[in-house]
Amino acid sequence: MNRPGQAPDISEPSQVPQGRVTRMLLRWLMRPAHVVSVETLSPHFRLVELEGEALRDVAWTAGQKIQVAMGAGLSARTYTPMSWDTGRGRTRLLAFAHGEGPGARWASGLRQGDTCQFFGPRRSLDLADLEAPVVLFGDETSFGLASALRDNLQAGGALHMFEVTDVLESQQVLEAISLGQARSIARSAGEEHLATVEAEMLRLAANGAQFVLTGKASSIQRISRALKAAGVASSRIKVKAYWAPDKTGLD
């Protein structure tokens, strides 16, 4: 039996048949929320705070995801709660609006008082047993995760390295969410920047770090491969692709 907020056993909510009964059932399983605040941190980033009765007394851990329903249909887009106040029934997420997809349009158009529905929180990355030193590599979609990780990591902080399209904009946003120490590296057309990332990751691996790799699928695949080739055990690497070119609503 599913509880509210718990998605039925479907890997792609965007692809379930849209019969009336299915639609009603899914609506019943979602958590309704309203937007308490939406802060434009920069042209492409929105810091969103959601609140609702259904967000109280929720079991949430850092690294989990929510899947926000887009419009009246059943398609959904995935975001990472940065924090969850289970007493007040509030959660915050940081959305990177990168183009014209439903998620980007949703984030860019959000206003205080708007309502939304979502599945979750659901399991995504299990970060419970992480011990310092921890290194997080990701991109603009991983800033929210980095914030959640910072607030929940038991043993010390994490080092962050992000590949980003606009370094200035990203640093401004990272500072706004108290992650100003993070290192942002500019993407290059031929992915040459990943050689720098790789070298830095291998250097940190020698210090016994554990790795969390999120963001663009091909980038984290490359870094993960390099770490494993250097002898880093799979148990020290946690990987979750957040998006891939030409794929929509990756989950």
Ligand X SMILES: Cc1cc2nc3c(=O)[nH]c(=O)nc-3n(C[C@H](O)[C@H](O)[C@H](O)COP(=O)(O)OP(=O)(O)OC[C@H]3O[C@@H](n4cnc5c(N)ncnc54)[C@H](O)[C@@H]3O)c2cc1C
Kindly state whether residue 95 participates in binding ligand X, applying the rule CB under 6 A: yes
Pattern of binders to ligand X over 18-57, x per CB under 6 A? ----------------------------------------
Kindly state whether residue 150 participates in binding ligand X, applying the rule CB under 6 A: no
Residues 28-31: contacts with CB within 8 Å, 24+ apart? Answer: 28/4, 29/2, 29/3, 29/4, 29/5, 29/119, 30/4, 30/5, 30/69, 30/117, 30/118, 30/119, 31/4, 31/5, 31/55, 31/117, 31/118, 31/119, 31/120
Q: How far is the CB of 225 from ligand X (least distance, A)?
A: 20
CB nearer to ligand X: pick between 47 and 204: 47
Residues 97-136 that bind ligand X (CB under 6 A): 98-99, 101-104, 124
CB nearer to ligand X: pick between 46 and 205: 46
Q: How far is the CB of 230 from ligand X (least distance, A)?
A: 26
Q: How far is the CB of 203 from ligand X (least distance, A)?
A: 27
Tokens of 121: 């929180």
Q: How far is the CB of 81 from ligand X (least distance, A)?
A: 8
How many CB atoms are located within 10 Å of the residue 30 CB? 24
CA 42 to chain centre: 18
> Largest Cα–Cα distance in the chain?
56
Binding site for ligand X (CB under 6 A): 65, 77-80, 93-96, 98-99, 101-104, 124, 140-141, 144, 240, 242-251
